[in-house]
Chains A and B, each alone.
Chain A
Amino acid sequence: MNAYIITRDNLRTWIDALIRDYTLVAPVREEEKVSLFKPVGSFTEIDLNYTNSTISPKGWLFPQTEEMFFFFTSDNQINLEDACKPGTTILFGLRPCDVKGIIALDPVFNGTYQDCYYQMRRQNTILVCLCCTRVERHCFCNSMGGGPTNGEGADLLLTEMEDGYGIEVLTSRGEELVNKYHQLFAVDGDNRVSKTRDEMGKKLASQFSRKVDISGIKEFLDQHFELPYWNELAQRCLGCGICTFICPTCHCFDIFDQSPDGESGVRSRCWDSCMFSHFTRMAGGHNPRPTKKERIRNRFLHKLKYHRDRYNLDGCVGCGRCINKCPVNIDIRQIIADLQEVARYDQLPLS
């Protein structure tokens, strides 16, 4: 695929043009240590010098709260009206792990039953990925089959260079975003972009504070549902659900109605969390996951096994947000390492 180079000045012109022609959602520094993806009105609002956003950008495809349809009663008839009408959006400056998160969500909202809310947003969204330039202490994308300069799944891949940005075109949709403003770009004739990206990749590979070995974990969990380990973990977990809130691959939701007068109203959905006891509690009171043990086990089995079982994709992309934000320092890297340990112990012959 083609590669181009854009100067810093032209990048500014390009982004302002994209803002004029599309809805552009990009990382914005809200306050110290809080970076969020938001629609922006000018280039100056964007902060590209961020490691990763505090909350994952999945909300632009799967909003935290989303109106699904409105209902009206008149003359004893129910009428429904859809609420979803998205325009073309550019998700600009996504990190590679978050692109991988979107790729992990795609098959959930696809399949026999197409989730039209997600699908319409997804089809109308162009993903512009930005290679990382540093690694945080909780990052571990390289353990989960990704990497800080691996833009697989995006439409365009940007790499910061000395004199501007390199742009690699990964899809025809990405190509359009370049062609439309072609005068701003110089063709990368001698593969400078991919060379710079490779060098950055190598440099960052040595900066990860921890590498974990995921191999064999799913196969071990296939055979071992009951482990005393989940009890130990559950004793620490507060069940606060922050891990599910910031996770780029968590997709659980609730559906609820709001109707002030009982005659008309709106049906919406909002993010929900498998860490909450009410999540699986049935109206009659029976709860198949009654304690934190079952719930924390479900979350980690979802990430390390169930998502693989259903979609042949890892349910964790190694963004490290849950490690960073967990109030009791539950660390999925440590869980993987512990499970490796348990698996090794399990395989020891009984003497």
Chain B
Amino acid sequence: MTNCRSHNPLRPFPATIIKIIDETPDVKTFQMVFDDPEVMENFKQKPGQVAQISVFGVGEATISITSSPTRKGLLEFSVKKVGMLTSALHRLEPGCKVGIRGPYGNHFPYEKMKGKDLLFIGGGIGLAPLRALIDFVLAEENRKDYGNIEIIYGARSVDDLCFKYDILERWPQMPGTKVYTTIDRAEQGWEGHVGFVPAYLEEINPTPKNKYAITCGPPIMIKFVLQALEKMGFSDDQVITTLEMKMKCGIGKCGRCNIGSKYVCLDGPVFYLSQLKQLPPEF
């Protein structure tokens, strides 16, 4: 007989917020730890997977896990305040209780990426899911398995840049890693690049040779990034993106995150461009 207590995938595990980092005026990164150390130990996510975060009394939302699995003992979620649940989450403080269940979905093909150069292209909060993979390949134990890393990241303004410490300080110092940061409009005090991400990408003009391109950001950015990559000669099997969808159950039952007969919560959120082109344009 099915045992509800030990196998109920819809029941979250209690967790505590241990630290909150203000990324931008509307994005916060939450560090969370399961209350039960055994649950923490057994939670083994892969880069690109998502989890369901509960604020009890308000509900649940699907959030990508932004910390790399190589970072043990805690999970990080970067959350933009856009709706009911994310607004409730933003009102919480360190020490507050939440619920977490997961990890759900597929993951970035980090095994296939071994021996390749990686080009990350992110916009705004879209850097959050990419960060899990960036930190995974940059982790000491994995770094030798991957080639050069290029990161192109943009936001509307300096204030809107997420993970400022990572993009401006930590990642540029890593061996074999280049970070290109841009903001949409010029600002006093900003000496970096100004312009949209797709245009900056064309300017940098990275070679597709022996490389995967991984992109996530606002739909309009993704659209033009994909066009630019195609122009540069990237094939549809070299381009990977991760999708956002409204989800409730996260386990392929509640029926709302389907694109054709695929459920983003089970068969995604990570798709090769070649796979996306096979799906109906309902995302």
Contact = CB atoms under 8 A, between A and B. Distances in A.
B256 A123 contact: no
B282 A77 contact: no
Contacts of B143: none
Given A76-B95, A116-B8, A257 B255 contact: no
Interface string B260-274: 110000100000000
A114 B9 contact: yes
B60 A253 contact: no
> Size range of the interface on A?
35 or more
A71 B4 contact: no
Contacts of B80: 284
B189 interface: no
Interface stretch (A12-20, A207-215, A304-312): A304-312
Contacts of B85: 283
A255 B2 contact: no
B280 interface: yes
A68 B254 contact: no
A102 to B, nearest CB: 15
A345 interface: no
B219 A255 contact: no
Given A113-B252, A279-B256, A298-B258, A284 B97 contact: no
> Size range of the interface on B?
35 or more
B283 interface: yes
- Interface residues of A, dominant DSSP: mixed
B173 to A, nearest CB: 33
- Interface residues of B, dominant DSSP: loop
Contacts, number: 143
Interface stretch (B107-115, B132-140, B147-155, B242-250): B242-250
A80 to B, nearest CB: 6
Nearest to A311: B261
Given A80-B11, A116-B7, A108 B258 contact: no
Interface string A70-91: 0101001111101010000000
Contacts of B48: none
A274 B255 contact: yes
Given A225-B280, A253-B254, A116 B244 contact: no
A113 B251 contact: yes
B83 A284 contact: yes
Contacts of A281: 246
A68 B7 contact: no
Contact of A82 (B4, B54, B251, B255): B4
A12 B84 CA distance: 54
Contacts of B4: 82, 84, 116-117, 120
Contacts of B9: 113-116
A69 interface: yes
Contacts of A115: 9-10, 251, 253
B254 A114 contact: no
18 contacts: A76-B95, A77-B97, A80-B14, A112-B251, A114-B2, A116-B7, A119-B2, A120-B4, A255-B59, A257-B57, A259-B56, A259-B57, A280-B256, A283-B85, A286-B219, A286-B244, A294-B282, A306-B258
